[in-house]
Chains A and B, each alone.
Chain A
Amino acid sequence: MSSSTRTLVSPAVLARPRGKAVYWTVFTGVVVLFALAFLFPVYWMVTGAMKSPDEVARTPPTLVPDNLSTAGYTDAWELMQLPAHLWNTVVQAAGAWAFQLVFCTAAAYALSRLRPAFGKLVLGGILATLMVPAQALVVPKYLTVADLGLLNDPLAIWLPAVANAFNLYLLKRFFDQLPRDVLEAAEIDGAGKLRTLWSIVLPMSRPVLGVVSIFALVAVWQDFLWPLMVFSDTDKQPIGVALVQLSQNVQLTVLIAAMVIASIPMVALFLVFQRHIIAGIGAGSTKG
């Protein structure tokens, strides 16, 4: 109980019997609402994949599957070639993450600490891209990637991922706030710029690197339109695109099982890092 922070309703009102009754009614209502709205759909998906094709089409539907069968999951794993598509997604996301960490960090460090000529102009050009919503430029971006011969190549995901003004700016602002004397001390001790970045700046920047990493991974895993455009080759498609392409040709239970499998990696990542992710979203909004 964090009674120290006063909110809309005063603690005195909540302490009264009537206040308590209202509080617990609202509390129960919200719990039921959350369970129905957010947890039940997930339950429905996980159990739907365990039903037989007949049972899943039955009306009224069964709340609990008659007999739990894992056939949906094993069929999805084999028939829809999920291991290959999952691997494609992992490769695309991991590469985008690595490229972003290396190039965005280096660029942000240069803009923050090395004062290059025309640095302000470059930063302005980068920040201006925040005004241009990414999706509105997919067609000319696609043509550029096609001209470079990168269609059906993971580089089509990795390289455009680096052009992420939001993450770059997040890093730059963090580097701006690092204590000046520590960096100067490193320089006096004879550390080069790269050495300073690697052994002083990066270890001090763990929180922001974590946030940028999560943003980078989630962005690739959740994107749909861009991979749909650049991966026409079925074997190269990430799991999201493959699901939509194959959804017409497989049994409903198999499709649902595949949907569950496609959701597991990001949901697991979220459950493991929930504290950081939730704190990061709240902090990011109030601190800009």
Chain B
Amino acid sequence: MTKTVERPPAVRVRPVKAPSPAGDRRRRRLTDHLRAYGFLLGGLICFALFSWYPAIRAVVIAFQKYTPGSDPEWVGTANFTRVWQDPEFADAWRNTLTFTLLALLIGFAIPFLLALVLNELRHAKAFFRVVVYLPVMIPPVVSALLWKWFYDPGAGLANEALRFLHLPTSNWSNGADTALVSLVIVATWANMGGTVLIYLAALQAVPGELYEAAELDGANLLQRIRHVTVPQTRFVILMLMLLQIIATMQVFTEPFVITGGGPENATVTVLYLIYKYAFLYNDFGGACALSVMLLALLGAFSAVYLRLTRSGEEAA
């Protein structure tokens, strides 16, 4: 008897709610889902219209004769064969691949070495980081126009510098065999800041004890780089490399602004050719056939990149 009196009254005041019928709960879940999709709607529409649909459409139009305003016709693989037989096709792929390779040699080695040196400097750290990233913040169009002026055969700074050093002058972007290298220099100058900063961050994560241990074992500077620095940052090096390949395979601004694809098609890239097919030849079928080819190749690189970053995250 006394026990019931001692019970706290709060329990009795709030009656236990009867379990709601299944239908009610389902309706509740449905409004939850609807509300969630309310939040998602704007983003989903944009992704659908400007990412998913264009990806499908590229493949569809690649097999069509497509002119805006008139009905598309199915033409089988005619676009692919026409593009394939275009003499510029081989030039564009050769230039793009050469550009990517040169960008890996020049545009990857230089920021890599620079980051190694910067990591050793103990003064003016902030200054170096700001200055190396400055060109990245200059609009690419301005960088391209600036270097076009430097490469000018008349009063261009590039030849003035060579003359000052008593070296033979060069045709730079105006010579068929030097044009591509000249563009790689521009792209490296404009973009290396990002690579340097990312690699610097990776270098700072290398544990100092490893260098100490290597030193005790008698490893000299180069051996320490080879056996400590490189293996410790291998993952970031690989990631940066893949990112750079993906980016340089899509190069457009530099050849468009500086050389216009010339001289003698020496700097026509795949993306430039896509642009020409669409906006000069009005041949959207051919442009999409080219896009699909570029997409397949870059998609493979991206897949490797994403797989690497995901496995890296799991390991971390």
Contact = CB atoms under 8 A, between A and B. Distances in A.
For this complex, into which size category does the number of interface residues on chain A fall? 35 or more
B32 A114 contact: yes
B211 A133 contact: no
Contact of A286 (B32, B68, B202): B202
Contacts of B271: 135-136, 225
B201 A131 contact: no
Nearest to B225: A8
Contacts of A127: 306
A6 B46 contact: no
A21 B98 CA distance: 41
B117 A162 contact: no
Nearest to A102: B42
A7 to B, nearest CB: 6
B57 A144 contact: yes
A174 interface: no
Contacts of A34: 128, 131-132
A61 B155 contact: yes
B48 to A, nearest CB: 9
Interface string B272-316: 001100110000100110010011001100110010010011001
A146 B205 CA distance: 48
Give the secondary structure class of A's interface.
helix
A5 B43 contact: no
B299 A243 contact: no
B250 A140 contact: no
Contacts of B200: 282
A116 B39 CA distance: 10
For this complex, into which size category does the number of interface residues on chain B fall? 35 or more
A148 to B, nearest CB: 8
A203 interface: no
Contacts of B194: 281
A286 B306 CA distance: 14
Interface in B156-182: 157, 160, 163-164
Given A8-B211, A218-B137, A288 B40 contact: no
A9 B288 CA distance: 53
Interface in A121-162: 122, 125-127, 129-133, 135-146, 148, 159-160, 162
Interface of B: 32-33, 35-37, 39-40, 42-44, 46-47, 49-55, 57-58, 61, 66, 68, 116-124, 126, 128-135, 137-142, 145-146, 149-150, 154-155, 157, 160, 163-164, 189, 194, 197-198, 200-206, 208-209, 211-212, 215, 221, 224-225, 229, 236, 239, 246, 249-250, 252-253, 256-257, 271, 274-275, 278-279, 284, 287-288, 291, 294-295, 298-299, 302-303, 306, 309, 312-313, 316
Pick the 10 closest A-B CB pairs, nearest first. Answer: A6-B208, A107-B43, A282-B201, A116-B36, A110-B39, A114-B36, A103-B42, A162-B46, A140-B54, A285-B198
6 contacts: A193-B35, A222-B140, A244-B256, A283-B201, A286-B202, A286-B236
